[in-house]
Amino acid sequence: MFRVIGVDPGTSVAGWGVLEKNGGDARYVKSGKITLDSSLKIPNRLHSLFENLKKVIEQQRPTALAVETAFYSKNIQSTMRLGEARGVILLCSELSGIKAYEYTPAKIKLSVTGNGNASKEQIQSMVRRLLRIPDIIKGDEADALAIALCHVYANRLDGFIKR
């Protein structure tokens, strides 16, 4: 059995979602979001992200952490902020003794919807359908669950792929 936490990085809101797999398909455990005070300077927000994620990890006790890789945006400032949040998430994983796995946005979309260019709405719909969870889970929380699902699917294939 393993338990994975997927984290959707952000410096305003970071979503997280925990799935458990024991044999068959993934089972939804819990999800949420860490909302960071936009009036704070970035270093303070990153510190808050670290502290809040650390608490979630301590409470949920995942055996792995999955996060989206950095992607390039036309807005270099947004790309840099995403990288800073990812750094905090990866550091939190390391300090918690949990191995981190990274997946590209296209890989996450492909593994959850079958389409590497899927829209946010398609991802949210498939996450809710695959995990049999209510419509109230949306946005960053659904994205985090998609990241966790991607890890579950990648882990399932590892047994079949010879390296």
| pLDDT for position 76 | 81
Residue 74 has pLDDT above 80, yes or no: no
The catalytically annotated residue of 25, 37, 51, 68 is 68
- At residue 160, the pLDDT reads 34
Which run of H or of E encompasses 136?
Answer: none
Active site residue 8: yes
Catalytic residue list contains 143? no
Which one-letter DSSP state was computed for residue 70? P
Q: Domain spans of the chain?
A: 2-158
2-158: CATH superfamily: Ribonuclease H-like superfamily/Ribonuclease H (3.30.420.10)
37 is a catalytic site residue:
no
The pTM (predicted TM-score) of the whole model is 0.91
| Banded pLDDT at 154 (limits 50, 70, 90) | confident
Strands 13-21 and 2-8: antiparallel
- Residue 156 — very low, low, confident or very high, per pLDDT cuts 50/70/90? low
Element (H, E) at 152: helix 139-158
**How does pLDDT run across 94-118, given as a tens digit for each residue?**
999 999 999 999 999 999 999 999 9
Out of 8, 20, 141, 143, which one is annotated catalytic?
8
The predicted pLDDT at position 73 comes to: 66
